[in-house]
Chain A
């Protein structure tokens, strides 16, 4: 069955430190992978996506992610975290499901940023 695992429920980093959020997926076909960010009380904002090609993808707000097929991973990184990055981050895989395509989300990682 298709699934997405985000093993870290909560992460705290200091402002200016580097960040890596982990994501592993289970899907038999070529994955379409996404990272979204959600601020409190808000909807989800698309940070970046991987469809094919270069396995290192750049997104908005200085984020990047690397697709590693051998590890079924799509980890999100940022070299220097800002206080405004505190939010919840969701990894998702796009799957073909019957007549349509849909997103399957991980359970999210809540990022706290210490001054």
Chain B
């Protein structure tokens, strides 16, 4: 079974721009979570989607948003990029909203200049 895939793997953007990251979960997994990883803050939960609905959201500004499609693929969007948004963005999939066991993709490394 293929693992979680994320595209693109690397991205360089300029302050003020917006960016969209994509995540394809493991086949059969219906829940997708997003995390931001930075050296200073560690791994922080962004949000989780299940059945195209956002079920939970972390403490991030409204510039961070996401969505999930009927095939469980998910995208996250960051608008009006700031330097502090530079991070590794990790996507994780799990079977359902009530599943704790998450499997992570390789991440998208976003650099904001």
Contact = CB atoms under 8 A, between A and B. Distances in A.
Interface of A: 32, 34, 36, 41-46, 49, 51, 90, 94, 97-108
A41 B6 CA distance: 13
8 contacts: A34-B100, A42-B106, A44-B104, A98-B55, A98-B56, A101-B100, A103-B33, A103-B92
A101 B97 CA distance: 7
Interface in B55-113: 55-56, 90, 92, 97-107, 109
Interface of B: 4, 6, 31, 33, 42-43, 45, 48, 50, 55-56, 90, 92, 97-107, 109
B56 A100 contact: yes
B100 A103 contact: yes
B100 A94 contact: yes
Binding site secondary structure of chain B: strand
Contacts of B105: 43
A49 B103 CA distance: 12
A110 B48 CA distance: 27
Contacts of A100: 31, 48, 50, 55-56, 97-98
